[in-house]
Chains A and B, each alone.
Chain A
Amino acid sequence: MSFLTPIFLLGGLAVALPVLFHLIRRTTRRRTPFSSLMFLTASPPRLTQRSRLEHILLLLLRCAVVCLLALAFARPFFRKAVPDTSVSAARRVVVLVDTSASMRRANLWTAAREQAQSIVRRAAPADQVAVFTFDRQVNPVVSFEQWTAAGPGGRVALVNGKLAALSPGWSATHLGQALIQAAETLADAGGKQALGPGQIVLISDLQEGSRLEPLQGYEWPKNVRVSVQPLKSRPGSNAALQLVSESDEAAPQAGAAIRVRVTNAADSRRDQFRVGWAQPDGRGFAGTPTEVYVPPGQSRVVPLALPQAAGPARYAGPERILLQGDDEDFDNTVFVVPPETQRLSVLYCGSGSEKDPAQPLYFLRRAFQETRRQAVQVVIRQPGADAGRSPALPALSAADLESPTLFVVTDPLPEALAGALRSQVAAGKTALFVLRSGAPANTLATMLGLQRIAVEEASLKDYAILGEIEFRHPLFAPFADPRFNDFSRIHFWKHRRLDAGSIPSARPLAKFDSGDAALVEVPVGRGRVLILTSGWQPEDSQFALSTKFVPLLYAMLEQSGAPAPLPTQHHVGDIIPITPAGLGDKSGAVVFAPDGSRFELPAGEASFSRTMTPGIYTLASAGVARRFAVNLDAAESRTAPLPADELERLGVPLAPQETAVAREAQLKVRLQDAELEDRQRLWRLCLIAALGVLLAETWVAARITV
């Protein structure tokens, strides 16, 4: 027998009352009216020493009434086995375990593993479970096939063994991408087999820095729900350290400070931190740290002066910055490799003064400004018949052609030098011929291996503008955007007509509105020759004064085969592009990780992706060692918990929590019980019995009184 409201059975304790009343000698309730009590004093009640109960039958009847009433109020019923109508279909479950850097916080990983193991243990034999981990990317730990192959007996051991070998990494959390991938895995598995609804069990700390953007445009598959199992970290303070990136275009400054941003989490309890350069082993400050006050939820930028011994160009001093004062250490170190300035040279072969604003050299010299990233040196040489005429300008020699990758030729070159230049260009460099006049036509012909090239002065009535530009070419690709592709404001007063058709494999990149070629590209070996049929000086055109001039020159420089500078700051998991150290560098590179491991990159490998831990990496290729720093993603330090509703807002259908499911099941049982009780209505029988016993008690009591 079960009870709908068993609490009322406690009312049965009231059975003690009749027993008590029967033990107490009852004082008379009969009242005798009397004229005056002024001569009477109250008689003390007579206490008898009887311990035996009086009127046992009456007592039993009264006790029975109390018990029956308590029973009736407890709503008794006989529980019958109710067949479960809900057929439990086999589920497809993907357990997504977060292994991002924020999971390195104390006790989070242990809790995550326990939760995953608990889910696996509770899985029904027919269920299909896969376990994935995710940070920047999703890594399968146990696939559906492995789960099926393991059999019901070995599944738990399989998952436990795989999970035991895992630990959180240093990567950022790309939660949106991981959810999409898991959902698609479930959708694919559901298509193959007739299985029940799919479920993704997300075990994560759900930190604010989880990237959910990919979910915005994603259409979530039907029958796939996400059950969030948020992990709660130990309450404490967390402050993060990030490097403030400097602009590459900024001018280099001697003794510039490194700026770091200290961000304090919104739920932190502390606000005083210390920041400073760390010892080489990272265990303490190298000097006196800077005290920083950062209220919770705010951030401060702290400049840290570079040590005197080192300069921005070749930095060999401390390479990590340390933060102390919070409870979580995983985001307290920043590795620093100051960017190295790349030094390039451009050879100008022509006459003219760099101080004369009517000369092309004047504008070329000012186009290449030195930045933190690049320092371009314009080397001026005077070729041909004019060599040595101006004492300020040295004559061009073959040795001058070795190091530059971009040659700007405005004057005719001697035959020998023209041949030397051709061999350099054929090796992959770029020569820009600026046809200020028809004079360099012979040199150009030599360069291109032709007998002669016809160059004549074009007759312009007023001016010419660029009418047709090949924006798909890498040189003009940066101008392809409609905001920048207006070249019609550049007026050309003079230009030379070049018959591009007579030059084999010549490709006009830009044409004047008259149809004459303005810029022609001719490949020579691995390099190229660019022919500009007009000068950029004010006498010929407005080109040097336009906004297109400098970007176009830099584009030519980049295309000239000069080694691109290697960015020095990366995040964990970033794919590092490997640029060759120089022309002709065909050998493979070697990357040394901070933990001492060495990765051999085969020749032709364009990237390095195994940046798994923060630290300073060294890329060695062609005898040149270049260093770059890999740091924790800044978003990973945003450890404040993300509300699960945010997922729902992005269209992720959330499954009810385990507690809610249990509550629902409990409610269902209660409803069934209530229905059974309502059908049986045993309380009525109890109440009728109680009334019957009450009548009997009244009759017995009356008999005793009489």
Chain B
Amino acid sequence: MSIRNLELRARVVVEGFWSGLHRSPYHGFSVEFTEYRQYSPDDDPRYLDWRVFARSDRYFIKKFEEETNLRCYVLADRSRSMAYGSTGCTKAEYAATLAATLAYFLYMQGDAVGVLTFDEENRDYLPARHRTGHLRQVMLALEKPALGRGTSLAAPLERIVEMVRRRSLMMLISDFLAPIGRLESDLLALSACGHEVIVFQVLDPAELDLSFQEPAMFEDAESGRTLFIDPRSARKEYQRKLEAHCQSLRTACQRLGIACERLTTDRPLELALFGFLRQRMQHKRGPRRMARSKVGL
């Protein structure tokens, strides 16, 4: 995390485990004809079939079944709770590095990468593309500081369901320190659309064990609410509630067949990512895997 540039950081991380995968990217691209459709205004004239026009003197659009590489969307939480960090690296930075790493990795594979940042509402949205310079825009969106005053998990999921019609890989990166009442239904909607979803929960070690000693006024990073907390007396209850919350998240994901990975900011990202990929490789070709995915994500 000492590298300031996010893209460079992502590249370092990717190169760290790239050699370990021993996989080569697949650059295939094909066009398969499906049907003709009569031309209507606003249709792209590039797709007019001039031969049919020559024969029949009528305009027809030639439709193809597009075949692309993997489409991947990174849904990154940019709320203020993500700005907390007790290890010198905030959760936001850790999550941004994670998202950038995955985006870079997929981009290098030739897959299209999109991004949607959110806090209490949706912020930046970049559709999945594989163009020159697109990766840089993705990095810029991820680099923005986490300033959101709340976390709404439903908003990005609903938005992505509306915006993305084709099956894609959805990577949801958040600390999930928000009520998850509707999360399961939203994830179900996402899965139902054919998307593959991976959930990354990024937490700080201090959040896991409430490693404070002195009583103090604790200030909520998002709402600014303050509470006098004696950590020694409140720790046990806190850990119990947090664990219950995380467990409910895991349970929901499990029910939907969604991979849920908890990452702590004190763990090196490449190691965490490598462990996750290895685990994924072992469960390769699961029932809801995308058919055309060439990589083991």
Q: Do these two chains interact?
A: yes
What is the bound-complex CA distance between A29 and B212, given in angstroms? 16
Interface string of A1-43 (1 = CB under 8 A from B): 0000000000000000000000000011111111111111111
Q: Is B276 an interface residue (CB 8 A)?
A: no
Interface string of A35-70 (1 = CB under 8 A from B): 111111111011000000000000000000000000
What is the bound-complex CA distance between A27 and B175, given in angstroms? 31
Contacts of A33 in B (CB 8 A): 84, 218-219, 221
Asked if A35 and B177 make an inter-chain contact with CB atoms under 8 angstroms apart, the answer reads yes
Q: Is B34 an interface residue (CB 8 A)?
A: no
Asked if A32 and B245 make an inter-chain contact with CB atoms under 8 angstroms apart, the answer reads no
What is the bound-complex CA distance between A32 and B216, given in angstroms? 6
B residues 212-245 near A (Cβ < 8 Å) are: 212, 214-223, 225-230, 233-234, 237-238, 241-242, 245
Asked if B177 and A28 make an inter-chain contact with CB atoms under 8 angstroms apart, the answer reads no
Q: Is B81 an interface residue (CB 8 A)?
A: yes
What is the bound-complex CA distance between A45 and B215, given in angstroms? 10
CB distance from B215 to the nearest CB of A (A): 6
Q: Is B204 an interface residue (CB 8 A)?
A: yes
What is the bound-complex CA distance between A45 and B230, given in angstroms? 9
Asked if B215 and A43 make an inter-chain contact with CB atoms under 8 angstroms apart, the answer reads yes
Q: Is B266 an interface residue (CB 8 A)?
A: no
Range of interface residues on A (Cβ < 8 Å): 10 to 19
Contacts of A34 in B (CB 8 A): 84, 207, 218-221
Asked if B177 and A38 make an inter-chain contact with CB atoms under 8 angstroms apart, the answer reads yes
Asked if A27 and B228 make an inter-chain contact with CB atoms under 8 angstroms apart, the answer reads yes
Q: Is B91 an interface residue (CB 8 A)?
A: yes
CB distance from A456 to the nearest CB of B (A): 144
Asked if B215 and A36 make an inter-chain contact with CB atoms under 8 angstroms apart, the answer reads no
Asked if A36 and B217 make an inter-chain contact with CB atoms under 8 angstroms apart, the answer reads no
What is the bound-complex CA distance between A45 and B212, given in angstroms? 17
Asked if A29 and B217 make an inter-chain contact with CB atoms under 8 angstroms apart, the answer reads yes
What is the bound-complex CA distance between A39 and B175, given in angstroms? 14
CB distance from A39 to the nearest CB of B (A): 4
Asked if B177 and A36 make an inter-chain contact with CB atoms under 8 angstroms apart, the answer reads yes
Asked if A28 and B217 make an inter-chain contact with CB atoms under 8 angstroms apart, the answer reads yes
Among A33, A35, A42, the most chain B Cβ lie within 10 Å of the Cβ of A35
CB distance from B139 to the nearest CB of A (A): 24
Range of interface residues on B (Cβ < 8 Å): 20 to 34
Q: Please, which residue of chain B has its CB at the minimum distance from the CB of A33?
A: B219
CB distance from A393 to the nearest CB of B (A): 138
Contacts of B222 in A (CB 8 A): 35-36
Question: Which of A30, A37, A39, A46 is in CB contact (< 8 Å) with B216?
Answer: A30
Query: Given contacts A33-B219, A35-B81, A46-B230, is CB(A28)–CB(B225) below 8 Å?
Result: no
Contacts of A39 in B (CB 8 A): 237-238, 241-242, 245
Q: Please, which residue of chain A has its CB at the minimum distance from the CB of B203?
A: A35
Contacts of A36 in B (CB 8 A): 81, 175, 177-178, 220-222
What is the bound-complex CA distance between A46 and B230, given in angstroms? 9
CB distance from B98 to the nearest CB of A (A): 17
Asked if B221 and A43 make an inter-chain contact with CB atoms under 8 angstroms apart, the answer reads no
Asked if B220 and A37 make an inter-chain contact with CB atoms under 8 angstroms apart, the answer reads yes
Contacts of A43 in B (CB 8 A): 215, 227-230, 233-234
What is the bound-complex CA distance between A33 and B212, given in angstroms? 11
CB distance from A552 to the nearest CB of B (A): 121
What is the bound-complex CA distance between A690 and B218, given in angstroms? 36
Among A28, A30, A37, A42, the most chain B Cβ lie within 10 Å of the Cβ of A37
Q: Please, which residue of chain A has its CB at the minimum distance from the CB of B222?
A: A36
Asked if A28 and B81 make an inter-chain contact with CB atoms under 8 angstroms apart, the answer reads no
Q: Secondary structure at chain B's binding surface: helix, strand, loop or mixed?
A: mixed
Among B82, B216, B225, B241, the most chain A Cβ lie within 10 Å of the Cβ of B216
Asked if A40 and B218 make an inter-chain contact with CB atoms under 8 angstroms apart, the answer reads yes
CB distance from A27 to the nearest CB of B (A): 6
Asked if B234 and A35 make an inter-chain contact with CB atoms under 8 angstroms apart, the answer reads no
Among B215, B218, B242, the most chain A Cβ lie within 10 Å of the Cβ of B218
CB distance from B53 to the nearest CB of A (A): 62
Q: Please, which residue of chain B has its CB at the minimum distance from the CB of A34?
A: B218
What is the bound-complex CA distance between A35 and B175, given in angstroms? 9
Q: Please, which residue of chain A has its CB at the minimum distance from the CB of B176?
A: A36
What is the bound-complex CA distance between A579 and B209, given in angstroms? 133
Contacts of A45 in B (CB 8 A): 228
CB distance from B28 to the nearest CB of A (A): 44
Contacts of A30 in B (CB 8 A): 214, 216-217
Asked if A31 and B207 make an inter-chain contact with CB atoms under 8 angstroms apart, the answer reads no
Asked if B234 and A37 make an inter-chain contact with CB atoms under 8 angstroms apart, the answer reads no
Contacts of A42 in B (CB 8 A): 227-229
What is the bound-complex CA distance between A36 and B229, given in angstroms? 13
Among A27, A39, A42, A43, the most chain B Cβ lie within 10 Å of the Cβ of A39
What is the bound-complex CA distance between A43 and B226, given in angstroms? 12
Q: Please, which residue of chain A has its CB at the minimum distance from the CB of B91?
A: A35
Contacts of A31 in B (CB 8 A): 216-219, 226
Contacts of A41 in B (CB 8 A): 227, 234, 237
What is the bound-complex CA distance between A37 and B207, given in angstroms? 10
Q: Please, which residue of chain B has its CB at the minimum distance from the CB of A30?
A: B216
What is the bound-complex CA distance between A262 and B244, given in angstroms? 105
A residues 83-138 near B (Cβ < 8 Å) are: none
What is the bound-complex CA distance between A271 and B229, given in angstroms? 83
What is the bound-complex CA distance between A31 and B220, given in angstroms? 10
A residues 386-439 near B (Cβ < 8 Å) are: none
Q: Please, which residue of chain A has its CB at the minimum distance from the CB of B223?
A: A37
What is the bound-complex CA distance between A41 and B218, given in angstroms? 10
Asked if A37 and B91 make an inter-chain contact with CB atoms under 8 angstroms apart, the answer reads no
CB distance from B217 to the nearest CB of A (A): 5
What is the bound-complex CA distance between A250 and B266, given in angstroms? 134
A residues 152-197 near B (Cβ < 8 Å) are: none
Contacts of B226 in A (CB 8 A): 31
Contacts of B238 in A (CB 8 A): 39-40
Asked if B84 and A37 make an inter-chain contact with CB atoms under 8 angstroms apart, the answer reads no
Q: Please, which residue of chain A has its CB at the minimum distance from the CB of B210?
A: A40
What is the bound-complex CA distance between A41 and B228, given in angstroms? 8
Question: Which of B207, B225, B227, B245 is in CB contact (< 8 Å) with A35?
Answer: B207
Contacts of B81 in A (CB 8 A): 35-36
Asked if B215 and A35 make an inter-chain contact with CB atoms under 8 angstroms apart, the answer reads no
What is the bound-complex CA distance between A29 and B216, given in angstroms? 7
Contacts of A28 in B (CB 8 A): 214-217, 228
Q: Please, which residue of chain A has its CB at the minimum distance from the CB of B179?
A: A38
Contacts of A37 in B (CB 8 A): 218, 220, 223, 225, 227
Among A27, A31, A33, A41, the most chain B Cβ lie within 10 Å of the Cβ of A33
Contacts of B218 in A (CB 8 A): 31-34, 37, 40
Contacts of B245 in A (CB 8 A): 39
Q: Please, which residue of chain B has its CB at the minimum distance from the CB of A45?
A: B228
Asked if A40 and B227 make an inter-chain contact with CB atoms under 8 angstroms apart, the answer reads yes
Query: Given contacts A28-B228, A40-B238, is CB(A35)–CB(B233) below 8 Å?
Result: no
Asked if A32 and B234 make an inter-chain contact with CB atoms under 8 angstroms apart, the answer reads no
CB distance from B206 to the nearest CB of A (A): 8
Contacts of B91 in A (CB 8 A): 35
Asked if A40 and B234 make an inter-chain contact with CB atoms under 8 angstroms apart, the answer reads yes
What is the bound-complex CA distance between A38 and B218, given in angstroms? 11
Contacts of A38 in B (CB 8 A): 177-179
What is the bound-complex CA distance between A39 and B237, given in angstroms? 8
What is the bound-complex CA distance between A41 and B230, given in angstroms? 10
What is the bound-complex CA distance between A33 and B225, given in angstroms? 10
CB distance from B243 to the nearest CB of A (A): 9
Contacts of B228 in A (CB 8 A): 27-28, 42-43, 45
Contacts of B214 in A (CB 8 A): 28, 30
What is the bound-complex CA distance between A43 and B229, given in angstroms? 5
B residues touching A (Cβ–Cβ < 8 Å)? 81-82, 84, 91, 175, 177-179, 204, 207, 212, 214-223, 225-230, 233-234, 237-238, 241-242, 245
Q: Which 3 A-B pairs have the closest CB atoms?
A: A35-B84, A43-B230, A39-B241
Given A34-B84, A40-B227, 10 new contacts (CB under 8 A): A30-B214, A31-B216, A32-B219, A35-B82, A35-B204, A38-B177, A38-B178, A39-B241, A40-B238, A41-B234
A residues touching B (Cβ–Cβ < 8 Å)? 27-43, 45-46
8 A-B residue pairs with CB within 8 Å: A30-B214, A34-B219, A35-B82, A35-B177, A36-B175, A36-B178, A37-B223, A39-B242
